[in-house]
Amino acid sequence: MAKKQVLVACGAGIATSTVVNSAIEEMAKENNLDVNLVQLKISEVGAYEDTADLLVTTAMTKKEYRFPVINARNFLTGIGVEDTKKEILEALKK
């Protein structure tokens, strides 16, 4: 399976994206998935439109992208995290 580029975005590209980035990194290792994680601000996503395979974000976005966008705000609340992890894994395995 080819390496997937995963964008992990939040408003500032620092705090909440770090939590999500760590979780995706752990999931990728556990499932032997080759991923390139790029942690960034939501405003920077456009620069990766041609290379990204997935966007996982805790920020709001109304823009449509050619790759799947997964809302990961529940990583902050702890409610429904397992469902979101499954969704991320399914997207990475495609």
Count of domains forming the chain:
1
* Cβ atoms of residues 73 and 90 within 8 Å: no
Could you tell me the mean pLDDT of each successive run of 10 residues in the chain, 94 residues long?
92 90 95 96 96 96 93 92 96 90
Which CATH number do you get for residue 13? 3.40.50.2300
What residue has token string 């990766």?
Answer: 48
Looking at the chain, how many residues does it have? 94
Q: What is the pLDDT of residues 52-70, one digit of tens each?
A: 999 999 998 889 999 999 9
Distance CA 49, CA 84 (A): 22
The angle, 0 to 180 degrees and rounded to 10, between the axes of the packed helices 15-30 and 81-93 is 60
pLDDT of residue 66: 94
Q: Domain of residue 69: give its range.
A: 4-93
pLDDT of residue 94: 86
- Enclosing H/E stretch for 81: helix 81-93
